[in-house]
Amino acid sequence: MSLSSQAAEHPRLHQLSQTNQLKALMTIIRDKNTKRGDFVFYSDRVIRLLVEEGLNYLPVNDKEVITPMGVPFQGVSFQGRICGVSIMRAGESMEQGLRDVCTSVRIGKVLIQRDERTAQPKLYYSKLPKDISDRWVLLLDPMLATGGSAMKCIEVLIEAGVKEDRILFINLICAPEGVLKMLEKFPSLHIITAEIDESMDAQKFILPGLGDFGDRYFGTED
């Protein structure tokens, strides 16, 4: 079994429905000839779908309401108490998608970069909501390659008191190696993604991937 299908079949890895419609969106954002306006627009569209899907893993309470026709309706209600945490800088591209569905949601930010001497990810900055330990956390970073920064970030969250099973890591594309490593290291973490790719190259770029998401989204390519 290939690494990709192992990752895809992992019970704590949740892929968006692999419809042709989703593939059509991914085709646009993966295409190297796509202009930035389209890249941003269609990335935002996929991010919105990812956020909607991620929220489905939050618990709900049963709730009965009375409809305008006076008939009871058996529904559910949100439990609330969530926050977003974005890994700077690419993760910030996903914040608006979260705000669009959860207005006035609290959002923490973390800056993690690779330490050139040790080649290990290093925490440079973090600002998290004070009561984060009581909340569910949607961790935002568009690309999961080796998972180095995301794992570092989860350690930071756990130190801040967040329960591991309340972390949902949301990304657009992931490499199977990174997925399997992360799910093994954090046995109750859930990952929500749009597509799982084949592998990584020597520079740890996802293949076929879409290049550097942050550069393409924020327009800082060479």
Partner 1 sequence: MTATAHRSAKTTTSTLMLKSDGRPPWYTPDGKNLPVYMVGIAGGSASGKTSVARRIVESLDVPWVVIISMDSFYRQLTPKESRQAFENNHDFDHPTSFDFATALRVLQDLKQGKATHVPQYDFTTHSPSKETQHVYGASVVIFEGIFALYDPTILQMMDVKIFVDTDSDICLARRIKRDVAERARDPLGVLQQYDRFVKPAYDGFVRPTMNNADVIIPRGLDNQVAIDLMIQHIKRQLDERTATIMRPVLVDRYCSSAGLRDTLVTLPQTNQVRAMQTILCDCSTLRDDFVFYSDRLSRLIIECGLGQLRLDKKTIETPTGLPYQGYELSSVVTGVTVLRAGGVMEKALRSVARLANYGKILIVGDPKTHEPRLHYAKLPPSIMQHRVLLMDPTIVSGANAMMAVRICVDHGVHEESIVFLSLLATPQGVHAIQTAFPKVKIVVALLDPHIAKDDLLIRSGYGLFGDRYFGTEC
Question: With binding defined as CB under 8 A, does residue 143 bind partner 1?
Answer: no
CB of 68 or CB of 187, closer to partner 1: 68
Residue with tokens 């439990």: 79
Stretch that binds partner 1, among 43-51, 82-90, 111-119, 133-141 (CB under 8 A): 43-51
Question: With binding defined as CB under 8 A, does residue 104 bind partner 1?
Answer: no
Q: How far is the CB of 158 from partner 1 (least distance, A)?
A: 25
How far is it between the farthest Cα atoms of the chain? 68
Question: With binding defined as CB under 8 A, does residue 96 bind partner 1?
Answer: no
Question: With binding defined as CB under 8 A, does residue 161 bind partner 1?
Answer: no
Q: How far is the CB of 56 from partner 1 (least distance, A)?
A: 4
Q: Which residues are catalytic?
A: 114, 118, 212, 215
Residue 209 C-beta-side C-alpha neighbours within 13 Å = 19
Q: Which amino acid is residue 173, in one-letter code? A: I
CB of 74 or CB of 118, closer to partner 1: 74
Stretch that binds partner 1, among 3-11, 42-50, 143-151, 186-194 (CB under 8 A): 42-50
CB of 1 or CB of 69, closer to partner 1: 69
Q: Which of 201, 204, 219, 220 binds partner 1 (CB under 8 A)?
A: 201
Of 118, 106, 178, 100, residue with least CA distance to 142: 178
Question: With binding defined as CB under 8 A, does residue 58 bind partner 1?
Answer: yes
Do the Cβ atoms of 208 and 32 come closer than 8 Å?
A: no
Q: Which of 7, 47, 50, 55 binds partner 1 (CB under 8 A)?
A: 55
Question: With binding defined as CB under 8 A, does residue 98 bind partner 1?
Answer: no
59 upstream amide cis, omega within 30 of 0: no
Q: Which of 5, 18, 36, 76 binds partner 1 (CB under 8 A)?
A: 76
Residues in contact with partner 1 by CB under 8 A are: 19-24, 26-28, 30-33, 41, 45, 48-49, 52-53, 55-56, 58-60, 63, 65-71, 73, 75-78, 100-101, 103, 201, 205-212, 216
